[in-house]
Structure 1
Amino acid sequence: MNIVKSFFTSAHRRRCSPALLAKLRPFSVATPEYAKRNYANNVSEYNTVIGSLVAKRRGYLLRDVYDDMMLDGVQPVRDTFHALIVGTMKNSRLQDAFYFRDEMKAMGLPPDVNLYNFLISTCGKCKNSDAAIKLLEEMKKHGVKLKGETYICLLNALAATGRTDQVYAIVRDMTAAGLGLNKFCYAGLITAFKNKTPITDETTTKIIELVKQSKGWSSIDASSDSGENVMMNVSEEELYNIPTAEYIHRRGFINRQLTVYHVALHACADLKSKETMETLLDMLKSDGYSYDAFIVMQAMRCYLHCGDIDSGLKIFEEYTSTRPPTAELFVTLIEGAMVGYTPRGMQLAQDYLEKMNARGFYLNAKMGSDLLLAAAGERTGGYTTANYLWDLMQSRNITPSLPAVEAYHKGLKQREIPADDPRLLLVSRTLDNLMDRFGGRDRFGGRRRT
């Protein structure tokens, strides 16, 4: 890497004005050393790097890559900005999304309707409905014609904050434009009522009502993945922030025909409404459908969050007796069993962690971190489950997330453990490293208190 790039870290570069960067670019001279160590030299190579980061969901690095492009004097093209904004959408980085939008406009590249769809979707992921409305106004101001996808993005983005009035306004606009409601519209309506506060008896009644209404949606009105979305590897479920988005590419995991049921049952688990959930499961059976893995996960979540361990365990055992279990089902059962930290629940979590491990299911960084964060909240008992999870992840060289390590460290400190205990020392060292890496230091340079 040349001397200018190696000296100016991403943090320093962001503090530089465009004028200063322009002055620095002439010093970014290609040398043999630079050619050997630099990762990209032209827009095509930078686009490849960006595409790789987006595919790996490392959106936090996109600003750094863009800064390097500017420092190298490489001019981004429209495809570059599309990839950058898709990357920010996948990682829910709204500030970065608007930054790239502004940079694009400054370079004389006005956003098209597909780009606005990605931006609106990002607003939904970040629960910022006001920003989504401003984007709609911007589209109208610049004469960008809305597509059916745009309306559905807006509907689901507004649903994220429970603004049912705004959601129904979008429905009216769709109807006026001659568009019918499809399953993703009903999914958005259900999400809007789930997120609306305060929660009342109308909430669950409306969810059941909307599921019934959704059965009338016509396949003619059904949207399909656009060429742009397919090219950018963005499914409709991800674009519209449907809870099944992260499982959509898992073969045999979900039945895409059941999107409305997926969203409704996910809402029931969040609302801890066991009665509504059981009503929906009966409706599902009467419609002639069987449970898929995602539906079983939501039923388990609902039962376990309501403190009904027996029913949660029963549906897990029934489903896995006829088909192979998945890591997600184990994790859902284990995490749900720890709700309330009851002796029976913690023992069940420990038992199924051991069963999961014995069957060769490995915890990835996200699953392990989520479970460790949950287990670390145990205030009584021997801290067996949290310790077991930590040891499992250490045995596979997986570093948990900062919040999980922080919570686990706090739990260890609250117990009578010698200051020189090897486990405590390792956790403290890991926490220090994570805080250094992610800026978790106070303004005096010391570690943040936990």
Structure 2
Amino acid sequence: MKLAAARKSLLHLLALPKTGSISGLRHFSGEIDDTQKPLPPPPTSFAVPEIVSLLKTTDHNDWISNSQLVEFLHTPPSPTSLLKITRQLGSTEKALHFFEFFKTHSSSSSSNPSSLSFTFQAILEQAMHEEKSDVPGKLFQLFSFAKDRKIPLSINAATLLMRCFGRAKMLEESISVYNELDSDSRNTNVVNLLLDCLFRGVNIDDGFKVLDEMLKRDSDFPPNNSTVDIVLDAMWRRNWVGRRMSVEEICGLLVRFFEHGVFLDDVWFTKLITKFCRSGKCDKAWDLLHDMMKLGGQVKASSFNALLSGLGREHDFQKMNLLMNEMKEKEVNPDVVTFGIFINHLCKCCRVDEALQVFEKMGRSETDGVLVKPDVVLYNTLIDGLCKVGKQEEGLKLMEKMRLENGYVPNTITYNCLIDGFCKAGEIERSLELFDQMKKDRVVPNVITMNTLLHGMCKFGRVSSAMRFFAEMQEKGLKGNVITYTVLITTFCSVNNIDRAMSLFNEMSENRCLPDAKVYYSLIMGLCQARRTDDASCIASKAKEAGIGLDIICYNALIGALCRKNKIDEAHKMLKDMEEAGIKPDCCTYNTLISYFSEKGQFTTASRIMKRMIDDGFLPNVVTYGALIHAYCLAGNLDEAMKIFQNMSSAINVPPNTVIYNILIDTLCKSDKVEAAISLLGEMKDKGVRPNTKTYNALFKGLQERNWVEKAFEIMDQMTENACNPDYITMEVLTPWLSDIGETEKLRSFVEGYEVSTSTA
């Protein structure tokens, strides 16, 4: 039969009225439905085992000559007897011979079609068990055999064929079997098989047409639990090419099932609620749960828990409280997971006091009608929450309560939470005491315990202690992981101990612990800062070999380090590599190059780079102009530097910062233009730019050259007023100058923080 013709008749056949009561089919089971119609028992004169024995021990050509077999045929045998006999013949070939023998020589074969149907059903069953390969092909041959001989299919035979063809994605054959089945024999379970075949054959549109007919209010084949299982399984497990259902469509479809009194079981409902919530559709999950309850479905705690988790991720505590109240109203008892979800999300949002209130409610059986005993996981969640908000002392008390009141033994997670809390608070000694207590309690520390303590010790400057502790843990068999080495390598890079960082990097590789991006980035930045550009480039190459791409910060550090070492060709190559990796230069990249070429006096190149910077959408900033001003000052072109400075303040609206003022004041003083330098200091005050010690040191040097003592005293008073402390350079300039002119008392007053203009000489 052509597939188009099969489809054409499909919906018409679905709409045919049922003429009698049809018993249910066990969907997808290998058992046979023997409850179609009451059948008379077999004659007592012929026991089934006796007939089976005769058929097995007698050649099929001699069956007609056997008087007992002939008499058996004329009894006539019941369809149930024929089914049992055919099942026990041992082979499809023998069963087919018996079928032909019965059809040819028994008068009941024509008067009772069920006899042939049941016999053929047994043949199909035999073939199913007998064939080891191409079972669908063999069954299709038998189906064609029955069809050619106009043998009506029993409902179980049709079920067997459709199930087999459906799994083999033989859609056309499945529809053909359905069409051959007598219309009175069709029921919801058979239509479910057809629906499953259509979905398995990725014939989604026709499948939904069938489903739509089933979901109509006056449907002859209303859905059942198997129907919804088929639909959800198809949606969940298969990629429906060209048909992606939105969450809204799925919810609408499920409500139609609910209207037929078909509700989701706890497993399916929980999975769907979870999926909706993780897709950011908590509102739809909320509506679906309430639709199911409104239409009479029972919702269990696990489905409520799934929705609570979704609402918790969205920090919607108002709805979480409402849902908890609804559980109470619907007499759905919350379990420890319910409270755990609520408490966990409250702790994640630092609402620990509210979490403690929920925790206290768990034991109030008289008021809330339920008593839920907290477990270790719940205690750990609360302890972790308390530690994260700096209440580690309360966390420690809760651990003792957990031990004394409930008899729970703190585990590794419990101690890890507390150790982390005390480490973050800088209480390293308390953390180590907890670690010792952990060992006394025979709680085995893990790599997280070690990493937490290492990070705490390194963060608060106890690097040597951290390395000793790491060595002790290694001796006891606890090996470090990528986080361990990342903490240590980053720490040594931050204190410029690059050799130790490199040693740990090599140890990491020897221990087959693959470095992550953070390790590579830390090493590259540290090596660049230490001006070890060759080593930094080598680490960058290793990162690329490991499949870790560098970020813009690493590229900028490498380019900057190469420029500082006057390796401009290598810097250009690094810039090219960066662009080939799909990373565009940023403002920092351009500023580095502008600074390099400006300092080399190549102002034309620097201007060209600035133009490209602007073309790429980056406006020059205070660093850009500072680099140009500094370069012009170094080149002795103070006029051009001042021109850029004045242009910054007026035309381009980039306010100069302290660094730029310091460069100009220092250059003006060295050029014996002290008045102009003092004028810039006044401008700094007017524009709210705070001078620093370098600003004043540059002025003191210029004033010393001119021996402007009174002006120096004024500047000293301004320095004191601005709470800017002198440094060793300040003292190197002022001490010999003021000592030579007999103003040591003013110098002493200045150092002590007093105004020198009011002190006596």
Specify if TM > 0.5: yes
Conservation of the 8 A alpha-carbon contact between 2:486 and 2:519: yes
Report SS of the residue matched to 1:145: coil
**Cα drift, residue 354 of structure 1:** 0.4
Amino acid at match of 2:666: M
- What do the CA deviations read for 1:124-177 (whole angstroms, capped 9, x no partner)? 555554233223123224443211232222222222333333233223212211
2:485 and 2:513 mapped to 1: Cα distance? 9
User: For residue 297 of structure 1, what is the aligned residue in structure 2?
Assistant: 626
- What do the CA deviations read for 1:403-440 (whole angstroms, capped 9, x no partner)? 354335435446524333x2x12234469xxxxxxxxx
1:106-121 matches, cutoff 5 A: 108=473, 113-114=482-483, 116-117=485-486, 119-121=488-490
Conservation of the 8 A alpha-carbon contact between 2:533 and 2:562: yes
Report SS of the residue matched to 1:291: coil
2:647 and 2:544 mapped to 1: Cα distance? 43
Distance 1:45 1:103, change over 3 A: same
User: For residue 184 of structure 1, what is the aligned residue in structure 2?
Assistant: 553
Q: Does residue 1:419 correspond to 2:728, yes or no?
A: no
Conservation of the 8 A alpha-carbon contact between 2:454 and 2:487: no
**Cα drift, residue 284 of structure 1:** 1.6
Q: Does residue 1:162 correspond to 2:531, yes or no?
A: yes
Distance 1:377 1:312, change over 3 A: same
Report SS of the residue matched to 2:706: coil
Q: Does residue 1:217 correspond to 2:581, yes or no?
A: yes
**Cα drift, residue 357 of structure 1:** 0.5
Distance 1:286 1:380, change over 3 A: same
Identity of aligned residues (%): 17
Q: Does residue 1:393 correspond to 2:757, yes or no?
A: no
User: For residue 369 of structure 1, what is the aligned residue in structure 2?
Assistant: 693
User: For residue 85 of structure 1, what is the aligned residue in structure 2?
Assistant: 458
2:734 and 2:431 mapped to 1: Cα distance? 41
Amino acid at match of 1:218: G
Q: 1:263 aligns with which of 587, 592, 604?
A: 592
Conservation of the 8 A alpha-carbon contact between 2:586 and 2:618: no
Distance 1:291 1:117, change over 3 A: farther
**Cα drift, residue 348 of structure 1:** 3.4
User: For residue 171 of structure 1, what is the aligned residue in structure 2?
Assistant: 540
1:412 and 1:111 mapped to 2: Cα distance? 59
User: For residue 470 of structure 2, what is the aligned residue in structure 1?
Assistant: 105
2:522 and 2:430 mapped to 1: Cα distance? 31
Q: 1:307 aligns with which of 636, 641, 652?
A: 636
1:100 and 1:401 mapped to 2: Cα distance? 36
User: For residue 735 of structure 2, what is the aligned residue in structure 1?
Assistant: 410
Conservation of the 8 A alpha-carbon contact between 1:120 and 1:157: no
2:425 and 2:728 mapped to 1: Cα distance? 29
Report SS of the residue matched to 1:184: helix
1:122 and 1:268 mapped to 2: Cα distance? 34
**Cα drift, residue 190 of structure 1:** 1.6
User: For residue 206 of structure 2, what is the aligned residue in structure 1?
Assistant: none
Report SS of the residue matched to 1:215: helix
**Cα drift, residue 338 of structure 1:** 0.5
User: For residue 356 of structure 1, what is the aligned residue in structure 2?
Assistant: 684
**Cα drift, residue 333 of structure 1:** 2.5
Q: 2:646 aligns with which of 314, 317, 334?
A: 317
1:83 and 1:275 mapped to 2: Cα distance? 51
1:147 and 1:155 mapped to 2: Cα distance? 13
Conservation of the 8 A alpha-carbon contact between 1:270 and 1:302: yes
Report SS of the residue matched to 1:289: coil
Q: 2:518 aligns with which of 136, 149, 154?
A: 149
**Cα drift, residue 102 of structure 1:** 1.7
Conservation of the 8 A alpha-carbon contact between 2:625 and 2:644: yes
Distance 1:186 1:388, change over 3 A: farther
1:375 and 1:112 mapped to 2: Cα distance? 54
Distance 1:172 1:425, change over 3 A: closer
Distance 1:160 1:361, change over 3 A: closer
1:401 and 1:360 mapped to 2: Cα distance? 21
Report SS of the residue matched to 2:744: coil
Amino acid at match of 2:693: S
Conservation of the 8 A alpha-carbon contact between 2:501 and 2:523: yes
User: For residue 347 of structure 1, what is the aligned residue in structure 2?
Assistant: 675
Conservation of the 8 A alpha-carbon contact between 2:423 and 2:453: yes
2:695 and 2:435 mapped to 1: Cα distance? 44
2:479 and 2:736 mapped to 1: Cα distance? 51
Unmatched 5+ stretches in structure 1: 1-39, 51-64, 88-95, 223-255, 432-450
- What do the CA deviations read for 1:220-271 (whole angstroms, capped 9, x no partner)? xx9xxxxxxxxxxxxxxxxxxxxxxxxxxxxxxxxx9323223334555776
Report SS of the residue matched to 1:316: helix
User: For residue 11 of structure 1, what is the aligned residue in structure 2?
Assistant: none
Amino acid at match of 2:579: K
TM-score, length of structure 1 as denominator length: 0.57
Q: How many residues align?
A: 320
After superposition, the CA RMSD in angstroms is: 4.2
Distance 1:268 1:49, change over 3 A: farther
Which of 1 and 2 has higher RCO (CA within 8 Å, sep 6+)? 1
1:334 and 1:345 mapped to 2: Cα distance? 14
Amino acid at match of 2:750: V
